[in-house]
């Protein structure tokens, strides 16, 4: 998928665990795992806002566009 | 879901009646083939006069196969209704069974209609114009089959939308 979610990188930078982030933003660890693995089809603005607030970052720090060469 | 439960019960009754009548028909036909006399089940002779006895049994067997296809269609619809009773609308099995049930219904109705018309045209020398009760029944079954196929397509599309929604975080 051309949109890459760099959540793992931000979690390491902020020294936060996935479970902790999931609790803060109010989603299940399973859903957070889906987001991290790139299997998510879409993300709500409210979820993106909550992640940026929790990790003190910008959407561009989490979402990256890579041209699909396939 | 009361309507699904009612449909399930009605389908069970219809399938049972059809299977019982086909069973009795095969039993009586077998008795005739072996020249066994009986007078407890009345046989209604068809006015169509086939040229040979082989043609008569051939057409009868062909019709039996079509009835079997129709019974298979009702059986698949019964299984699909059972899944509906569990409120499992996005089940792949339900979608496939509904689609194949509709397909079988359309096929059996068209085939039986064709066989009947061939019989009337070549063996009775009669062409029936206009809508008889039989034609209405055939058209109704075709319409029901097409509707089932359409509903299965709708359920398949809603399943895709639901899966996408489930993966929206």
User: Which of B94, B132, B99 is CA-nearest to residue B116?
Assistant: B132
> Rounded CA gap, B111 and B66, in Å?
7
Residue B124 is predicted with a pLDDT of 66
Count structural domains, chain B: 1
pLDDT over 90 for what percent of chain B? Answer: 26
> Rounded CA gap, B24 and A33, in Å?
61
* A37: alpha, beta or left? (left if phi > 0; alpha if psi -120 to 50): alpha
> Rounded CA gap, A10 and A13, in Å?
5
> Rounded CA gap, A15 and B145, in Å?
60
Note whether A18 and A70 are within 8 A (CB). Answer: no
Residue B126 is predicted with a pLDDT of 60
Q: pLDDT (tens digit, 9 = 90+) per residue, B83-140?
A: 888 888 888 999 999 999 999 999 999 999 888 887 777 766 666 666 677 888 889 9
**B11 falls in which pLDDT band (50, 70, 90)?**
confident
Cα A49 to chain center, whole Å? Answer: 11
* Cβ–Cβ contact B167 with A under 8 A: yes
Taking the domains of chain A in order of start, what are their residue ranges? 3-65
Task: Measure A56 CA to nearest chain B CA, in Å.
Answer: 19
Q: In this structure, what is the dihedral angle of CA atoms B99, B100, B103, B105, given to the nearest 10 degrees?
A: -110
Closest-CA residue of A relative to B163 is A41
Q: Which domain holds residue B112?
A: 2-166
* Cβ–Cβ contact B159 with A under 8 A: no
Residue B1 is predicted with a pLDDT of 55
Q: pLDDT (tens digit, 9 = 90+) per residue, A35-67?
A: 999 889 899 999 999 999 999 999 999 999 988
* Cβ–Cβ contact B162 with A under 8 A: no
Nearest 5°: phi and psi at B48? -65, 135
Residue B108 is predicted with a pLDDT of 94
Most B CBs within 10 Å: which of A5, A18, A41, as the mutation test of the B interface?
A41
pLDDT over 70 for what percent of chain A? Answer: 96
> Rounded CA gap, A26 and A46, in Å?
11
- The CATH class for the domain spanning A3-65 reads mainly alpha
């Amino acid at each position: 998928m051309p949109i890459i979610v760099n959540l793992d990188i931000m979690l390491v930078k902020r020294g936060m665990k996935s479970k902790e982030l999931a609790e803060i933003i109010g989603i299940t660890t399973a859903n957070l795992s889906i987001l991290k693995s790139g299997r998510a089809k879409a993300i709500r603005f409210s979820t993106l806002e909550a992640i940026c607030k929790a990790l003190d970052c910008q959407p561009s720090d989490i979402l990256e566009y890579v041209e699909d060469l396939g | 879901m009361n309507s699904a439960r009612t449909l399930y019960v009605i389908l069970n009754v219809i399938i049972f009646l059809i299977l019982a009548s086909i069973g009795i028909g095969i039993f009586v036909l077998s008795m005739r083939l072996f020249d066994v006399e009986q007078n407890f089940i009345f046989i209604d002779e068809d006015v169509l006069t086939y040229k040979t006895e082989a043609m008569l049994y051939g057409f009868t067997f062909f019709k039996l196969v079509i009835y079997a296809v129709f019974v298979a269609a009702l059986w698949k619809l019964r299984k699909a209704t059972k899944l509906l009773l569990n409120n499992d609308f996005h089940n792949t099995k339900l979608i496939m069974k509904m689609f194949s049930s509709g397909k079988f219904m359309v096929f059996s109705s068209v085939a039986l209609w064709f066989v009947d018309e061939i019989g009337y045209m070549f063996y009775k020398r009669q062409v029936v114009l206009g809508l008889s009760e039989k034609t209405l029944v055939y058209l109704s079954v075709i319409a029901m089959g097409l509707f089932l196929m359409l509903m299965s397509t709708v359920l398949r599309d809603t399943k895709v939308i639901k899966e996408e929604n489930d993966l929206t975080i």
